[in-house]
Amino acid sequence: MSATRPYVLVLYYSRHGATRTLAEQVAAGVESLGDIDARLRTVPPVSPTCEAVDPEIPESGAVYATLDDLRHCAGLALGSPTRFGNMASPLKYFLDTSSELWLNGALIDKPATAFTSTASLHGGQEATLLSMLIPLLHHGMVYAGVPYSETALLATTSGGTPYGTSHVAGGRNERDVDETERHLAKAQGRRIARLARALHAETSHA
Ligand SMILES: Cc1cc2nc3c(=O)[nH]c(=O)nc-3n(C[C@H](O)[C@H](O)[C@H](O)COP(=O)(O)O)c2cc1C
């Protein structure tokens, strides 16, 4: 167990920046509680050629996640662009390196949530969010979406689902994350932080 303050790992992949903006809102929601941290991390792109080597520190955005970031988190918020109705391979690739955590049950009973960005309104947001939930359930995590007490879910004409926050980017990624999408991402961050804080307190006193 880490000696640092409990934190929610906000782990995302983003090529054009939309999922990164959602991640920053989720992190702001986590930090708004004041007594639990958000640890914002990304993953490197994967290359079809095994020779390609990227710098160890990305040019912009969060630094790359390590397995220890995942191992010691009190909760997880996972963000990915939609790729053919599924999560992007760099994020899946990272999760596929987490067998040791699975073997040791390191993520059991920790809360998790997911968020995504698509080009089009009906481009597979819910399918992607549900696909992101599958490996988290294998790890024994407790999934939390966005409840309808967030009334923006009923009113939104852009992103936002009970499975997790979403954003609609448009065919040329021309659409910024709007106020409703930002609001829901932040609320999602607050919720996962509250759950992480409660479950962390329960397990650390057990
Ligand atoms: C290989 C690939 C597959 C994609 N598949 C979908 C899709 O199934 N549905 C959709 O609406 N958008 C799809 N997109 C568009 C991205 O989801 C969209 O551009 C998203 O906003 C990118 O997020 P980012 O700004 O975080 O990179 C795809 C993009 C790529 C490159």
Q: The tokens of 81 are what?
A: 């662009």
pLDDT tens figures, 119-161: 999 999 999 999 999 999 999 999 999 999 999 999 999 999 9
Question: Is the Cα torsion angle 168, 125, 179, 30 positive or negative in sign?
Answer: negative
The answer to whether 9 and 77 are in contact (CB under 8 A) is yes
Residue 86: the pLDDT is 98
The superfamily CATH assigns to domain 7-44+55-204 is Flavodoxin domain (3.40.50.360)
Residue 47: the pLDDT is 80
pLDDT band of residue 75 (cuts 50, 70, 90) is very high
pLDDT > 50? residue 1: no
Using the mean position of ligand 1's atoms as its centre, give its distance from the Cα of residue 164 in Å: 17
Atom of ligand 1 nearest to the CA of 80: 26
Ligand 1 in contact with 117 (CB < 6 A)? yes
Atom of ligand 1 nearest to the CA of 84: 8
User: Rounded to whole angstroms, how far apart are CA atoms 110 and 118?
Assistant: 27
Ligand 1 in contact with 29 (CB < 6 A)? no
Using the mean position of ligand 1's atoms as its centre, give its distance from the Cα of residue 26 in Å: 20
What is the pTM for the complete model shown? 0.95
State percent of the chain over pLDDT 70.
96
